[in-house]
Structure 1
Amino acid sequence: MGFNSFDGFMFSFLPIFMVVIPILVIGTFVFVIVKGLSQWTKNNNSPRLSVPSQVVTKRSQTSGGSGDSSASTWYYVTFQVESGDRVELGVKDSEYGMLVEGDFGILTFQGTRYLGFERK
């Protein structure tokens, strides 16, 4: 039993470990790429809508920025349309700064893609 059985275990475990981890990493990359392409295709096939709406709220999400890594920030705005439904869309930082909670206007979007907001 002793040392020789442990060596046998390690030699049988290591090859499995060296195969499973790369498969999981590659699988994750493939999943993210397929999901992104799927959303892009869905947006392209969605109608381009321009609807009266109000800016309800704004938020940002920051990640990274610890140590030597740079931070990334994403900006989101929630709009409420006439029916009472709300839609949250990602916007560019320049658009985020120009939109004010309570603004009324015409929101133009396609699927989950923000195309613009014309204040009234």
Structure 2
Amino acid sequence: MGMGPDPSWMFDFAGTVIPIFLVVMIGIVAVSAGRGLLQWSRNNSSPMLTIPACIISKRYEIKQQASQEEGGSSRASTLYYLTYEAESGTRMEFKVEGSEYGMSAEGDRGLLTYQGTRYYGFQRYPHYSTAE
């Protein structure tokens, strides 16, 4: 009988826990890729529609990422979203570019063009002031 702790636990850990961890990680990546591929396929099979709609909401999301460098700096990016309501009452939210977000206002009416979850644009109706 030897002195000190039993080193056989190390072989059990390497032989069981690490392979299980790798299988779980590969499974997560596969499921994520499968979801993306399924959404892409659904979008491709959906018709491209242009419908009358109204912008009912605007929102943005700031994502901040810490840098791995010694300086401790971070990087932020902003995602912009517009929510549209069709004449039927259906609401749809799409990610848009910052310039389009800035030019949009709640209450704008126009023609929304989309395909599944893909946003293609919003053509505003002309708005004329009634003030004299």
Q: What is the Cα deviation at residue 53 of structure 1?
A: 0.7
Q: Cα distance 1:69–1:38, how it changes in 2: closer, same or farther (>3 A)?
A: farther
Structure with more helix by fraction? 1
AA aligned to 1:113 is R
Letter in 2 for 1:3: P
- Amino acid aligned to 1:103: D
TM-score (norm 2): 0.77
Match of 1:106 in 2: 111
Relative to the length of structure 1, the TM-score reads 0.84
Aligned length: 117
Match in the other structure for 1:29 = 29
**Identical residues among aligned pairs (%):** 43
Distance (Å, rounded) in 2 between the aligned partners of 1:44 and 1:58: 27
**Any unmatched runs of 5+ in structure 1?**
none
RMSD of aligned alpha carbons = 1.9
- In 2, the alpha carbon distance for the partners of 1:33 and 1:13 equals 29
Higher alpha-carbon deviation: 12-21 or 107-116: 12-21
Q: Find the aligned partners of 2:81 and 2:98 in 1 and give their Cα distance.
A: 9
1:86-105 Cα offsets, whole Å, 9 max, x none, are 11112222222222111011
